[in-house]
Structure 1
Amino acid sequence: MSVNITTTRLTVRCASQHVRAGTPTCKRRSFWNTVFSKPAAVKRRARREEESPALPTPTREYHPTPIPHETIVHSPANAGQLDAYSAKTIAVSIDDTPRTFDTVFLRDSCTCPRCVDPDSRQKLFQTSDIPQEIEGKARTVQDENKSWVIEVEWQNDVPGYGAEHRTRHSLNWLRRALNTEVELRGGVRYDDRVLWDRDTITKNNKWIDYKDWTGDDSVLFDALTHLNKYGLLFLKNVPESEESVVNIAGRIGTLKDTFYGRTWDVRSKPKAENIAYTPQFLGLHMDLLYTSNPPYLQLLHSLRARTPGGESFFSDSFHAAQKLEEASKTHFRTLCTFPVTYHYHHPTYHYHYTRPTIELHPYPKYSEPTNLALHRVNWSPPFQGPFEARIGGESQTALRNYLAASHAYEKILSAEESLFEYRLNEGECVIFDNRRVLHARRAFDATKGERWLKGAYVDDDVFFSKLRVLEERFRGGGLRMGL
């Protein structure tokens, strides 16, 4: 990599040291002017000085207030100038704002070939290898694309790395690093979510043609971005084939295989092992909450829609959770803590899992930019099992509190203004976030026609992996992509 380095003047830190030592200062603007002053103001001051030369005045000794970090300012005048001393933090001017980075973070993120394998992109050292006493000196240089790069020279580096080892991070990378890890850890930037009621989703619904979905990556990226924001997406002109849902899901990634199979059929049949396989009304719910890792996406392709009734409807559980928190923080806290049991108990299978109705993000301080750190909602009354015996015996107050909170939550979920209703026609497919968007179905008359949906699941890891790959391709996103 070619680097444009020009050594011209003392660094800001070096200049500050000279001032504090009482030695003559170099001809350089002060730190605060360097970082924060407006160029136009500087030019005006210089012009005034040229027009009206100042009279000689007695020399005054400067005693500036010590500042915690002198910021590396990126300009041709500063290029190639190494800090005068090592430090445990390095402050960098990003978008005219000083941002401080711990040297442990900068060292741990090094992507040089000695630290990260160029092919596998796996790390070749451990975070625990970094000495606690590590410090760094930084300089700003330009790469072959004339982009600013921070180059760090290490003191007390990882054992085995010589004095010649350097770490480089571009300003673009540092800028993304301030935010991108937030996106990556939870899979989604929560402030990018659009919580919706009926009117909002009706206005913003997106329909994608099957051929565009399967043949155009830019359309796929736009569709998955929408699905990420709203949790609901529709496809049209889907071929009449039991493999179509496989092709649709396969564009995202590997299908989730469950005890229902890789794909499954939603159709009325006698002695059904699942209420979904009956013509009865099926209330708002999520699938497979009785498993430790419920599916993230659910796909339903309509192959037959020839019965009266059977309309699908959807509700945004996150929107309802926000409304509940605004109305009653007590009810909200109850749903965050009270354990609800879900089960699937049959002669061949016995699944059982207990979880609260609302799960908050496990790292709200680092990962959740919004005040309400919603992570998951668990709501599936048709598949709910008996509460733990101790709850019904010794903790009646807790159970009564849960009853009141669940009443309040269900009222918001099923309110007319919360529900989006749509009858899937043949050749249409709906994809929705099974951990956020509740789905339901009205009763239908199975004696007057056939209703047949082909279903499939996709896990969250698979979905976000595809979304990140497409985002890196079309937006240049991604955190660990080198400089």
Structure 2
Amino acid sequence: MSLNLSTRLPLRALLAQATRAGTRRWRPPIALKSTAPARQFWNKPQSPAPQPVPQQAPQEHLVHDASNAGQLDGMPAKHVAVNIDGDPRVFDTVFLRDSCTCPQCVDPDSKQKRFQTADIPENLEGSCRTVVDKEKGWVVEVVWQNDVPGYGPEHRTRHSIDWLRRALNTELELRGGVRSDERVLWDKDTIVKHNKWVDYKAYMTEDEALFDAISHLNKFGLLFLKNVPKSEESVVDIAGRIGNLKDTFYGRTWDVRSKPKAENIAYTQHYLGLHMDLLYTSNPPHLQLLHSIRAQAPGGESFFSDSFHAAHQLHASSAFHFRTLCTFPVTYEYHHPTQHYHYTRPTIELFPYPKYSEPTNLAIRHVNWSPPFQGPFEARIGGENQTALRNYISASHAFDKLLGSEENLYEYRMNEGECVIFDNRRVLHARRAFDATKGERWLKGAYVDDDVFFSKLRVLEEKFNGSWISDGVVRHAIK
């Protein structure tokens, strides 16, 4: 696979070919920040000492094969050039050394580094050769000069061409801010068509079913399980298939049912509007799970709305309102005698590389919307020449209208033995009022953090797809 890199060094600018007998050599452009010339691999015939290189026609190919196996490429240098898909790619030897995965550098069991990046000497240099690795095939092997203290002259670093190619791709995609995003924005019609119900037994016992379930959850932010045992521990088991539960002041699990003098409006029988949980904490939970154990009270229908879809709609209708919600600080608070949580964040949070002028690449990371748990505004609260608060009110009206519009709401009454899992940083949830005098409504809840969820997703992506995604960039599984 050839790399399509906008910043790659053109072959013609780098290579020159000798027209008489001798070795083929090239020198890097002056722009290389190195006190020694970059080194490369090439077809190296057995020949006398190297001859000067005339500036003539460019070399056609640089290849890795048996003809250059085991041959060091010149004197040590701070940069080396490696042929990848027909073009020379220049790497800083510090990067190659820091990435070493040999048993001396990375513990085979814990997979943790045995040295620090800060241990690498500033005058580190390396010489390269190609060798055949019994596991990785053809690899680049670097012999070090001025290695990390404690490493002897026998230490070698090996990297496969596939690994180096991925390193280049990852750097350029991160730098370019182009994100791979599998999320599917939805309104009511879309989620009704694509909604997924997963059998509890398959979810709990089959990794492929689990991968299908959490992949869907990552795309749509909403997933339902059926045939869940009516046990208070079922929600623990469901969340545990993903990873550790998030423990909060509500506990590892908590009960959603009506009770007198409730410390949370969710623990009443009253209507509860669209919201997200725990936005008054520094790291709100990524997933929320609600297992319906009792569903005997009339009413109490749940409904959900995709805030990312509404945000895209808002951007299309008013870029000014969208920017206002990206910048205006909203305070969330939970202030009780024994707990006091307080955090300020904008309504819409973007990834580091937003492109405001391109509605198809908004790069939304989180939406924060929880009106029941807002505290008083603390910044930009107004004055006769300040309009920020009024602008926020106008933008919030427009956003709220989109979130709660009939075409964007998915409504469902949870039956006993069902569990819903949803992305608490994307999908808003709400509940209609119910009559607690005519029956019990009891849901058992739990949370899972973002790190836990994405760790499990990456493990299963690598297992079943041979690749995984982080920071919006696809990394293919390689040796």
Give the TM-score range, shorter chain. 0.7 to 0.9
State TM-score, norm by structure 1: 0.78
Compute the displacement of 1:274 (Å): 1.2
The separation in 1 between residues aligned to 2:172 and 2:240, in whole angstroms, is 27
Q: Which position in structure 1 is the counterpart of 2:229?
A: 239
Residue in structure 1 matched with residue 372 of structure 2 by the alignment = 382
Provide the secondary structure at the position in 2 that maps to 1:438. Answer: strand
**Is it true that 1:337 corresponds to 2:327 in the alignment?**
yes
Alignment partner, residue 282 of structure 1: 272
Matches of 2:409 and 2:88 in 1, distance apart? 47
Please state if 1:24 is matched with 2:20.
Answer: yes
1:466 aligns with 2:459: no
Query: Partners in 2 of 1:358 and 1:205 — Cα distance?
Result: 25
Match of 2:183 in 1: 193
Q: Are positions 1:128 and 2:118 aligned together?
A: yes
Match of 1:152 in 2: 142
1:282-322 Cα shifts (integer Å, max 9, x gaps): 11111011111211110000112223322212122222223
Deviations 1:245-274 (A, max 9, x none): 011111111111111111111112222221
- Normalising by structure 2, what TM-score? 0.79
1: CA distance between counterparts of 2:104 and 2:117? 14
Distance change (3 Å), C-alpha of 1:90 and 1:206? farther
Q: 5+ residue gaps in structure 2?
A: 1-10, 28-52, 469-474
Aligned to 1:63: 55
2:102 is the alignment partner of 1:106: no
- What residue in structure 2 maps to residue 166 of structure 1? 156
TM-aligned CA deviation for residue 350 of structure 1: 2.0
- The runs of 5 or more residues in structure 1 that have no matched partner are 1-11, 32-60
CA distance in 2, matches of 1:24, 1:463: 61
Task: Give runs of aligned pairs for residues 80-99 of structure 1, distance below 5 A.
Answer: 80-94=70-84, 99=89
Q: Give the alignment partner of residue 442 of structure 2, picking from 437, 445, 452.
A: 452
Tell me the number of residue pairs that the alignment of Structure 1 and Structure 2 aligns.
429
1:12-57 Cα distance to aligned partner (Å, 9 max, x none)? 99x95773xxx715598999xxxxxxxxxxxxxxxxxxxxxxxxxx
Q: 1:393 to 1:251 in 2, by over 3 A?
A: same
1:248 aligned residue: 238
> For 2:291 and 2:173, how far apart are their aligned partners in 1?
30
The answer for the alignment partner of 2:200 in structure 1 is: 210
Q: What amino acid is aligned across from residue 55 of structure 2 in structure 1?
A: H
**Paired amino acid for 2:287:** L
- CA-to-partner distance for each residue in 1:323-356, whole Å, 9 max, x for gaps? 3233333222221221101111223322211111
| Alpha-carbon separation, structure 2, partners of 1:410 and 1:332 | 12
Q: How far, CA to CA, are the matches of 1:374 and 1:270 in structure 2? A: 39
Task: Tell me the residue number matched to 1:296.
Answer: 286
2:407 to 396, 406, 417: 417
Q: Is the 8 A contact 1:208 1:235 kept in 2?
A: yes
Q: How far apart, in 1, do the equivalents of 2:186 and 2:61 lie?
A: 43
Looking at structure 1, the residues matched to 313 and 77 of structure 2 have their Cα atoms a distance apart, in angstroms, of 48
**Partner SS state of residue 300, structure 1:** strand
Q: What secondary structure is seen at the aligned counterpart in 1 of 2:408?
A: coil
Q: Deviations over 1:159-197 (max 9, x none)?
A: 33333322111233334445679999xxxx752222222
User: The residue matched to 1:241 in structure 2 has which SS?
Assistant: coil
Whether the aligned pair in 2 keeps the contact of 1:334 and 1:401 (CA below 8 Å) is: yes
| 1:179/1:77 CA distance change after superposition, 3 Å | same
More off after superposition, 137-146 vs 164-173: 137-146
2:35 — aligned with what?
none
* Cα separation, 2, equivalents of 1:202 and 1:88: 58
How many percent of aligned residue pairs carry the same amino acid?
Answer: 74
Q: CA RMSD in A?
A: 3.5
1:371-390, CA deviations, whole angstroms, 9 ceiling, x for partnerless residues? 43322221111111111166
| Larger fraction in helix | 1
| 2:63 is aligned with 1:73 | yes
Give 1:49's aligned residue. none
